[in-house]
Structure 1
Amino acid sequence: MINSTPSVQMFKFSLKLFYFKSRIQQNGNAALYLECYISGFGSGGDRKRHPLNLDWPAKKINLEKGILLPRHKDDLDVNDYHMIISDVKAKINEIAIRFRLQNRVLTNDMIIREILYYDSSKSLVAFMQLVRKDRFKNGLIARQTYKNILSTINSLIEFRPLATFSEIDKTWMAQYKKFLLGKGVAINTVWTRMKDVKAHLDMAIEQHNIYVPKDGLDFPNPYKEEESVYLRKEEVIRLINQLDDKALCAADYQVLKAFLFCCFTGFRISDLYNSEYSWMVSENFLKFMMVKNQARKPRVLTIPLIPIAKKFISSNSGKFFELPTTQEYNRTLKQLMKLAKIDKQISSHAARHTFGHLFMKFGGNLLTLQKILGHAKIETTLKYAHLDDDDNLDLVLKINDEFEDVGKLKNMA
């Protein structure tokens, strides 16, 4: 059977040492480049000079032979410079061979990118660091995603900083998961870490033709939803009373007020860290673009700001709160829960669930809650309602209260 897939025109390329004779510095040195010419791009081809970030006396550069001459007797630097130049040449040659074998077009712009990823074609950590920066710079991921991926990278550095793509099989993935669980990382966070790794393995294969063992790529990572944690009214009151605790340091006090603010607004932690006075469109409303999905689907929220929530705002201008890192924020919350004698595993997101519970308990409705929380789907909002049997009874009794004064009913047994 004849293969109907059209082949890419075979390219040829050449490399040579280069410097600009018109740009010789006052001290006689010239910046060194590797000139790369790739054929197959019209009459002029694709020619580019790649900077080596090296200087050498122009009179001691032999362009015809492509070598540097010693500046003086026993010049030790000349061999080191030749090694650096040879190393870059070898990298470019390897890139060209790989593209040719894969029947792919090669351009100088591609060479620049592939050199950037050269070391990361083996190292998972290096690859994730570079891809993370590149995707954020090009607006493909939001700032919060950018931060979250850094947390995954840091966990990999702690686990196995020198891990290469070729060793990431199902055993490696299982060991990484075991490592995270052993450190007490929450199940949802473990899922996120594994998801980040698998997403970057996919990118390594699809965009850069890097080999990854298939069983590592196929390692199962089903989402296991944890039972949401929230605070009841009496527990929120206990936290409010902690504001009078003289033992709290300034940082702990800020975290406590910020958490309580979220309990009465439904703020996400990412929006909390960005919150500022410019968001106040009136005494009773905040208007802002939420951080989540900002790069893909930007969305502006307008939410009520009730008087009790305003009491927790720490400043009269600028940022609402001066807060530590999110990791330190969550560590502080655990300490605050102990002080308030609240035996629950509370994280920053619990405040959002607490708001959902309080809102529904005191007569709110799901559609309004969905709008305040900024959910795209009502099914997501359902997870924030948290009404138990007693709450349901209290709400239904309100119907009873509305009809208690009807005369006919008063006379009925």
Structure 2
Amino acid sequence: MIQNIDVLRNYPVHYPMNFSGKLTAKIVMKSDYKRADGTCALYLQVFLNKERKRFPCNISVTENDFDKVKQRIKKSNQLHHDYNLIIEKMLADINKIEVSYRLSNQVLTMDKLEKEYNNPSSRIDFIKFWENEMEQQKLVLKKGTYRQQYSSLTKLKAYKSHLYFHEITNDFLIKIVGHFKSTLQNDQSTISTFLKNFKKYLNIANKKGIITPLQTSEIKIKSFSGNRTFLNKEELQNLTAYYNDAYCLSSHKYILAKFLFSCFTGLRFYDVNNLTEDNFVGDVLVFTAEKTKKMQRITLNRSAMFFANPKYLLNENFTNEYVNRELKEICKFRGINKRVSFHVSRHTFATNFLVSGGRVEHLQKLLGHSNIRETMIYVHIVESITNMQVLKMDEILKL
């Protein structure tokens, strides 16, 4: 039976329940029909704008076990506790629907009430709304974008299983951001990505006439360059040594082939995952980028060619999430104390390309950036590295 259900327990003893003047609800027994065991079925009876609808409670008890005044199962029934929880849950669900429509200034009809009750609608629950919208956009969104937005939705669901539109307030946003920072230890980049996706689907809801206390214009997302973690020469040599080691786990070898190949080409995760032998023309890689849909041609250096072994590079298309988890374990095992994800390979390529004397305009083309300002971030990183190296000259005189 149902256990640990969150219910509203402060109902008045006498019913029907008056929700808004137009809607009333009560539990009734269909006593004109008795089953073979002498029990009668219970229904949740709702009146809305003089229209009646009965929802089955899927509970049958004898007339003596049902209190018509309190509309609850008497203690004489062995399952009275579980049955009453079901009844209270049903009444609570009706109440939530009515409150949500009223606070959102939406017109509630019996047809809508029935649909919302039998299948909690996305017009009440923002999480359900987000799920439905993502399903509709699944064929339109790029794979990486879809997975990113779905990841944000998963984070929201982990924090709160249901989020009614009238609950979306500034206080709620402050609390969930605080949860990400303090409890989950998320960095600003991760939080900003969540807020961007949250804001997108809230904006879609508002445009569809769903009113929320918090407006999208009130959600401010900080603009920042982010932490461009990259691997230096020694760390790349460390991972390559493990890749070449006879004791390297086969799953790690597949992952490292893709990761290290990207460290010397700058390819994104989904572009590496989509590669086939047809993309290789001698020492030139030709592919269409998943994100930009632009065709790119990259001349492969010897290091990239070393990891272009079809056995490892072109097989085992793991998910991005799995690869990121395994990369963390690999780096931990190899003593690399950095927060490494697959995207770090792209930062590694860009940074080491400039450190090796590459030109920023060439890097822009290799990375497929439409705006050179995106590429200039790596220039600033290299400049900071150079400045730190200049300070090492102090070791000459040891002043």
Q: TM-score range by the shorter chain?
A: 0.5 to 0.7
Q: What's the counterpart of residue 202 of structure 2?
A: 201
Q: What's the counterpart of residue 133 of structure 2?
A: 131
Q: Is the 8 A contact 2:230 2:348 kept in 1?
A: yes
Q: What's the counterpart of residue 172 of structure 2?
A: 172
Matched, 1:308 2:303: yes
Matched, 1:328 2:322: yes
User: Against the structure 1 CA distance between its residues 195 and 358, is the aligned structure 2 distance closer, same or farther, given a 3 Å change threshold?
Assistant: same
Q: What's the counterpart of residue 121 of structure 1?
A: 123
| Aligned pairs, number | 304
Matched, 1:356 2:358: no
Tell me which amino acid in the other structure corresponds to 2:203: D
Tell me which amino acid in the other structure corresponds to 1:320: L
Per-residue CA deviation, residues 351-400 of structure 1 (Å, 9 max, x unaligned), is: 11111122222232112111111000111112234424776999xxxxxx
Q: Is the 8 A contact 1:170 1:216 kept in 2?
A: no
Q: Is the 8 A contact 1:254 1:322 kept in 2?
A: yes
Moved beyond 3 Å, runs of 4+: 85-88, 113-118, 244-248, 388-394
Q: CA RMSD in A?
A: 4.1
Secondary structure at the counterpart of residue 286 of structure 2: strand
Tell me which amino acid in the other structure corresponds to 1:370: Q
Q: Is the 8 A contact 2:225 2:377 kept in 1?
A: no
TM norm structure 1: 0.62
User: How much has 1:310 moved relative to structure 2?
Assistant: 2.4
Q: What's the counterpart of residue 346 of structure 1?
A: 340
Matched, 1:242 2:242: yes
Calculate percent identity across the aligned residue pairs: 25
User: How much has 1:127 moved relative to structure 2?
Assistant: 0.6
Tell me which amino acid in the other structure corresponds to 1:129: E
Which sections of structure 1, spanning at least 5 residues, go unmatched?
A: 1-69, 89-93, 104-112, 395-413
Tell me which amino acid in the other structure corresponds to 2:335: K
Which sections of structure 2, spanning at least 5 residues, go unmatched?
A: 1-32, 47-51, 56-97, 108-114, 390-399
User: How much has 1:197 moved relative to structure 2?
Assistant: 0.8
- Cα distance in structure 2, aligned partners of 1:375 and 1:344: 26
- Cα distance in structure 2, aligned partners of 1:384 and 1:308: 21
Tell me which amino acid in the other structure corresponds to 1:303: I
User: How much has 1:340 moved relative to structure 2?
Assistant: 2.8
Tell me which amino acid in the other structure corresponds to 1:374: G
Secondary structure at the counterpart of residue 378 of structure 2: coil
Q: What's the counterpart of residue 255 of structure 2?
A: 255
- Cα distance in structure 2, aligned partners of 1:245 and 1:391: 33
Q: What's the counterpart of residue 60 of structure 1?
A: none
1:62-73, aligned counterparts within 5 Å?
Answer: none
- Cα distance in structure 2, aligned partners of 1:221 and 1:362: 35
Q: What's the counterpart of residue 271 of structure 1?
A: 271
1:6-405, aligned counterparts within 5 Å?
Answer: 119-137=121-139, 139=140, 141-181=141-181, 182-207=183-208, 209-214=209-214, 218-280=218-280, 282-293=281-292, 298-315=293-310, 320-385=314-379, 386-388=381-383
- Cα distance in structure 2, aligned partners of 1:390 and 1:197: 36
Q: What's the counterpart of residue 87 of structure 2?
A: none
- Cα distance in structure 1, aligned partners of 2:274 and 2:310: 14
Q: What's the counterpart of residue 49 of structure 1?
A: none
User: How much has 1:185 moved relative to structure 2?
Assistant: 2.5
- Cα distance in structure 2, aligned partners of 1:268 and 1:379: 19
User: How much has 1:277 moved relative to structure 2?
Assistant: 1.8
Q: Is the 8 A contact 1:313 1:321 kept in 2?
A: no
User: How much has 1:160 moved relative to structure 2?
Assistant: 0.1
User: How much has 1:247 moved relative to structure 2?
Assistant: 4.5
Secondary structure at the counterpart of residue 214 of structure 1: coil
Secondary structure at the counterpart of residue 199 of structure 2: helix
Q: Is the 8 A contact 1:330 1:347 kept in 2?
A: yes
- Cα distance in structure 1, aligned partners of 2:306 and 2:202: 47
Q: What's the counterpart of residue 48 of structure 1?
A: none
- Cα distance in structure 2, aligned partners of 1:340 and 1:127: 44
Q: Is the 8 A contact 1:117 1:130 kept in 2?
A: no
TM norm structure 2: 0.64
Tell me which amino acid in the other structure corresponds to 1:363: G
Tell me which amino acid in the other structure corresponds to 2:138: F
Q: Is the 8 A contact 1:261 1:313 kept in 2?
A: yes
- Cα distance in structure 2, aligned partners of 1:303 and 1:369: 11
User: How much has 1:118 moved relative to structure 2?
Assistant: 6.8
Q: Is the 8 A contact 2:203 2:216 kept in 1?
A: no
- Cα distance in structure 1, aligned partners of 2:147 and 2:206: 24
- Cα distance in structure 2, aligned partners of 1:383 and 1:367: 13
